[in-house]
Amino acid sequence: MNPMIRLPPDLPVKGACDEGTALIHFEFKNITKSYLGNLPVLDQVNFKIEAGGFYYLTGVSGAGKTTVFRLLLSIERPDSGEIYFDGEEISEVSGTRQALHRRRIGMVFQDYRLLPADTIEENVALPLRVSGYRGAALRNRIDRQLEQVGLVERKREQVMGLSGGEKQLVSIARAMSFDPKVFFADEPTGNLDQSMAFRVMELIQGLHREDSTVVVATHDLDLIRSFRAKTLLIKDRKIHEVRLTGQAGIS
């Protein structure tokens, strides 16, 4: 039987928790992944992410949450098994196809991956420049993305002077390049105080309301309690879809 996550019954369910006939966006088929000949982090794992869904990916530190994102982004290759995105096998892609696949996903990394000596706008500009944006088109795009996180007025500031939460907002703005239909956020509230964590989660929920598929990795149960969504738990090298019930805690 699946493990259960128990939650207070009176919280509003904001996430997409309905069973339905949604399209499958991502699918893991019998995925095994190990590093450097160590025991596998994931062992014969199967799971699906439906288009338009809002998911948590949870599990203890070291369970493999970041590894799952890296596999879905085709940054890592599995030892065996297949990974599909909209029906296309992506675990073995390379070159242009790999680059195009990554562009379809807005990734908010656990460690932000920002260039600290550069300005906010330069950080947001980077992926856009690489794909050929220049001049007014580039400036307009940057402003649009920064407006959504409330940082457009501060775009000339250096990233190294920002708080952790503000860096997270820059990272979210950068993930909006290319209008991806899929967003992954790896521990987006890990280093933030409660009010900033709430703001970041509201923003991420906003991305979902705009019809994207969103996966948030976290081991913060308070977060899962506040913003409900389908929850995938990595445990014992497998991924289980866990159900929400009435009391706090994971069993």
If you search the block for the tokens 């260039």, which residue do you land on?
115
User: Which CB sits closer to ligand ATP, 79 or 179?
Assistant: 79
The distance of closest approach from Cβ of residue 226 to Mg ion in the complex, given in angstroms and rounded to an integer, is: 21
Bridge-based pairing state of the strands 24-33 and 42-50 = antiparallel
The distance of closest approach from Cβ of residue 70 to ligand ATP in the complex, given in angstroms and rounded to an integer, is: 7
User: Which CB sits closer to ligand ATP, 65 or 155?
Assistant: 65
Q: Which does 63 bind (CB under 5 to 8 A by kind): ligand ATP, Mg ion, none?
A: ligand ATP
Q: Which does 78 bind (CB under 5 to 8 A by kind): Mg ion, ligand ATP, none?
A: none
The distance of closest approach from Cβ of residue 13 to ligand ATP in the complex, given in angstroms and rounded to an integer, is: 25
The distance of closest approach from Cβ of residue 186 to Mg ion in the complex, given in angstroms and rounded to an integer, is: 6
Q: Which does 62 bind (CB under 5 to 8 A by kind): Mg ion, ligand ATP, none?
A: ligand ATP
User: Which CB sits closer to Mg ion, 67 or 123?
Assistant: 67
DSSP output for 194-243: HHHHHHHHHHHHHHHHTT-EEEEE---HHHHHHS--EEEEEETTEEEEEE
Interface residues with ligand ATP (CB under 6 A)?
A: 35-36, 41, 59, 61-67, 110, 219
Give the count of alpha carbons within 13 A of 171, CB side only: 26
DSSP output for 26-52: EEEEEEEE-STTSSPSEEEEEEEEETT
Strand partners, 56: 216, 231
For residue 6, what are the CA distances in angstroms to 3, 9, 61, 74, 231?
Answer: 10, 9, 20, 33, 11
For residue 189, what are the CA distances in angstroms to 81, 196, 236?
Answer: 31, 8, 25
User: Which CB sits closer to ligand ATP, 57 or 125?
Assistant: 57
User: Which CB sits closer to ligand ATP, 61 or 94?
Assistant: 61
User: Which CB sits closer to ligand ATP, 108 or 120?
Assistant: 108
CB 109 within 8 A of CB 187: no
Q: Which does 230 bind (CB under 5 to 8 A by kind): ligand ATP, Mg ion, none?
A: none
Which residue is nearest to Mg ion, using beta carbons? 66
Q: Which does 117 bind (CB under 5 to 8 A by kind): ligand ATP, Mg ion, none?
A: none
Taking the CA atoms of 126, 129, 135 and 140 in sequence, report the sign of the dihedral they define: negative
Interface residues with Mg ion (CB under 5 A)?
A: 65-66
